[in-house]
Structure 1
Amino acid sequence: MKFFPLSLLTKKFFLYSLGILAIFSYIFAKFADELVEKELHTFDLQIIHQVQGLITPQLTSVMKFFTFMGSIKMLLFLFLLSCLFMLWRKKVWEAIFLLLAIGGGTVFNLFLKWVFQRARPTLHPIIQETGYSFPSGHSMVSFIFYGMIGYFLLLFFERRVAKAISVVFISVLVFMIGLSRIYLGVHYPSDVIAGFAAGGAWLVICIMGLRVMIERGSR
């Protein structure tokens, strides 16, 4: 196999990416360890009481909207729409890695849930969910999918203002999806944070792979 040298810019990109990957991995490992040691009870309850102390009928409708934005139905719809658009624009590798990101992330989340087998909270559930709780699937897969879309937008937009708006919009959307899971009583805060961390780690790996393939194709 012929060795494919990476450009200096990509090597720097990988260096920063590995640093971010290490941070995400550490955060997940920290919460996973505290879950096993049963040290998350106080942390979770304090945040749950603060978040659910804000419950109103109007805010509940807003939170249900955000949790729908992280649902399987919505993500599948947006995924198919995004893939069709990228294939139309002949962005084949982008479409492939979006599939790998969301598909692999979903399987990874199910595996982690099976490993930890944490029951869902029962304090004040506004909606009903089944399955294990740690890490949050909504938070993890939303972080991966919307994070990939955000990365594509950063590549697409040339103006810094457009890039900044994209980052802020994606960040707020993903944060609100995670917050909605706590508000609606179907996840502990630690589930959400661990979901973001695990999703972030997988997202970084996928972006690194995509970067290599795009650079290889450009040569």
Structure 2
Amino acid sequence: MAGRLMKLAFSYLGLSLAIVFGFIFIFLEIASELKEKELEEFDVTVMTYVQRFISSDLTELMLYITMLGSIPWLTASVIGTIVFCFLKKKWRSGLFIAFSSGVGALFNMYLKDLFQRERPDIKPLIEEEGYSFPSGHSMGSFIFYGACAFLVFHFARRWKIKIAGSAALFFIIFMVGLSRVYLGVHYPSDIIGGFSAGGAWLAVCVILFKFYEKKERISQ
């Protein structure tokens, strides 16, 4: 049994490193070009294009969508999901949500303080405080909704529910990121950076979840 557990641990460690390095490579590429200001033309071009579609109705919709990635909403959603998981006796799932989102929030704070990028000043439709890179809304949404998508895909019995549920949650992630660009409070590279950092951390959490799940099966 010890040999099987050791082999399992090394296989999952290798998988986690491969996935994490992929996301980290993307993030570091963005961060490197960010310091050299090579992304400025890309960011301005994309923001200018997106904001061509500004209208009162679309702004109202984007304000609702961006709320889905806000700290109050995500905090309440995380707590609600944890309580639901515990009531369903899904202790591991509840801890998975708590750990991924909780540590992910601290990770985002660290990265913002590390890069200290100022927010864009291109037709902002709302006021936001704090640094811009990576986007907290995008990173937090990727981690929480991505974690929920994983649980839906993991536990749902019907493939239609697996695919539809996961697709809907990832569509929310995409729209939250788009809303931040539309509202003029983040550069597109902030969104990509948030998705990359969030994806890297979520990948680690998913692999840990799967590892302990299989470890328990072997130990039984």
> How high is the TM-score relative to the length of structure 1?
0.93
For residues 65 and 12 of structure 2, what CA distance do their matches in structure 1 show? Answer: 32
Whether the 8 Å CA contact 2:118–2:131 is kept in 1: the answer is: yes
Whether the 8 Å CA contact 2:12–2:211 is kept in 1: the answer is: no
1:51 corresponds to which letter in structure 2? V
Equivalence for 2:59: 60
Q: Secondary structure at the match of 1:153?
A: helix
1:22-45 deviation per Cα after TM superposition (whole angstroms, max 9, x unaligned): 321111011000011111110100
Deviant stretches of 4+, over 4 Å: 6-18
Equivalence for 1:123: 122
1:89–1:46 CA distance, 2 compared to 1 (3 A): same
For residues 78 and 158 of structure 1, what CA distance do their matches in structure 2 show? Answer: 24
Matched, 1:199 2:198: yes
Whether the 8 Å CA contact 1:138–1:177 is kept in 2: the answer is: yes
Q: Secondary structure at the match of 1:178?
A: helix
Give the drift of 1:216.
Answer: 2.4
Alignment of 1:92-171 (within 5 A): 92-171=91-170
1:7–1:150 CA distance, 2 compared to 1 (3 A): farther
1:59–1:190 CA distance, 2 compared to 1 (3 A): same
For residues 4 and 153 of structure 1, what CA distance do their matches in structure 2 show? Answer: 32
Give the drift of 1:5.
Answer: 3.0
For residues 9 and 61 of structure 2, what CA distance do their matches in structure 1 show? Answer: 41
> How high is the TM-score relative to the length of structure 2?
0.92
Which residues of structure 2 form unaligned runs of 5+? none
Which residues of structure 1 form unaligned runs of 5+? none
Equivalence for 2:72: 73
Deviates more, 1:114-123 or 1:9-18: 9-18
For residues 167 and 7 of structure 1, what CA distance do their matches in structure 2 show? Answer: 32
Equivalence for 1:179: 178
Give the drift of 1:147.
Answer: 0.6
